[in-house]
Structures are given as structure tokens and as C-alpha cells.
Amino acid sequence: MPVKSKTKRNITNFFGGVGYFFCSLQWLLTIIIYSSFIKTTLTSFTPVDMKPAKPIPVVIDLATNTPLMIIGVIFTLAVVALAIYVFVKIPSTVAKTSKTIVHEVTEASVPVVMRIQHLPETKQNRKKIVFKMTIAIKILIIIAPLVISFCSQFTVNQTLDFSVSIYLSILLAILTSLFFILQYVMARLFSVSKEELW
């Protein structure tokens, strides 16, 4: 594959990756919205400990303990470096994992869809169905958290105010949709094949 075409594919898939990242944020927001409901449900099934343990504070004077101070600084730098690494690595990992899941679900459902539509199993029919199913799954993973977030108004204990949660959910859905649309627009402009899209 020539470098130019690989660059075009990477640019196109960048938008798809950002779309998947915003989609994962949308699902994370949905979990946060229902976190108090989940917590109350879980605590109703767990035994209650009547005597909470009292923590004993340990006082360490870092100014006089130089080796401990050096270890503390090294630990702090290691945590900061790990946080930077995770912050850089998460979007690409989320995008690749989401792409894999969407394409596996699509590939698994294609034979069923072709049988239901009474289409012969040809390569061209398979490509059309895979493309349409991928778009349908992307639409589903955008709309489902919106509907779930909307239903949060019916729960008793809400972590976030309903108006805040629904506005954030709509914003993330719009951003996800925008980046997926940009991915398909760029694919069309750069003549990237549908099979190479995330």
C-alpha cells in the first residue's frame, strides 16, 4: 500500500476513532447517571456492618526523613508518567476495541441478514450488508445511551440533575455523530474503501 493511501486511510480512521471515543464517554456518562441507583441496589443486598473501623492516622515528617521524601517524589513522578501514558493511550485503545466489537457483531449477523432478505451469498452482497450493518450498529450505540439517559428522570436518586445529564448526553451524541459523519465524508473524498473504515 502506498504511503499516500495509508495516510489517507489513517486520517479518515482518526475521525472514526474520535467518534468511538466520544461514544465511550457517552456510555460512561450513562453509567455515572445511574451510579446512585446501582449503589442503592447493591447496598440493599449486602449486609450492613454496624461498627465502622476507625482509621489510625500515621504522621510522617517528610522534611526530616530524606529517603522517604525521595521515595515519595519518585512515586509521584511515576504516577504522573503513568497518567500521561494512560491519557495518551486510552483513545486509541477505545477506538480499536470498539471497531473490533462493531465489526465482529456485523460479521456474525451478516449471514442471518442475507438469509432473511433471501440474497445470494456473493462478495458484493456481503460488502453491502456489512457496510449497512456497521452504520446501523453505530446509530444504535449512539441512540441507546440517549434513551437510557432520558429514562433516568424516572429514578428516585439521581447522581446528576436530569437537565444536566440529558444535555451532556445530547452533546456527546452530537459529537459522536459528527465524527462518524466526518469519517464517511473523508472516506468519500480520499477514496478510502469501506472495508478499511473503523
Q: Do the domain assignments include residue 37?
A: yes
Confidence at residue 115, expressed as pLDDT on a 0 to 100 scale: 86
User: Cα 68–69–70 angle (5° rounding)?
Assistant: 90
Which pLDDT score is estimated for 96?
78
The pLDDT of residue 170 is 95
Predicted local confidence at residue 14, as pLDDT = 86
2: left (phi over 0), alpha (psi -120 to 50) or beta: beta
Per-residue model confidence (pLDDT) at position 3: 56
Structural domain span for residue 192: 3-45+95-196
> pLDDT > 90: what percent of the chain?
18
The pTM of the full predicted model, rounded to 2 decimals, is: 0.71
Q: What is the pLDDT of residue 143?
A: 95
| Nearest one of 148, 197, 145, 130 to 175, comparing CA atoms | 145
Contact 180, 19 (CB under 8 A): yes
The pLDDT tens digits of the residues spanning 38-64 come to 777 766 666 666 666 677 777 666 666
> Residue 77 falls within a domain, yes or no?
no
Give a yes or no: residue 54 inside a domain.
no
Determine the pLDDT at residue 49. 62
- What pLDDT does 48 receive? 61
Q: What residue type is assigned to position 40 of the chain? A: T
Amino acid at 106: T
80 in a structural domain: no
In-domain check, residue 59? no
Per-residue model confidence (pLDDT) at position 148: 92
Whether 148 is covered by a domain: the verdict is: yes
* Ordered mean pLDDT values, 10 residues apiece, the chain (198 residues): 74 86 90 79 66 71 70 86 80 77 83 85 85 89 93 82 90 95 90 78
Q: What counts of helices (H) and strands (E) characterise the chain?
A: 5, 0
Q: How far apart are CA 11 and CA 196, in angstroms?
A: 12
Contact 169, 176 (CB under 8 A): no
Determine, yes or no, domain membership for 127. yes
Residue 66 CB contacts under 8 Å (≥ 6 apart), including other chains: none
Q: How many domains does the chain divide into?
A: 1
pLDDT of the residue at 61: 65
SS3 label, residue 59: coil
pLDDT the model gives residue 62:
60
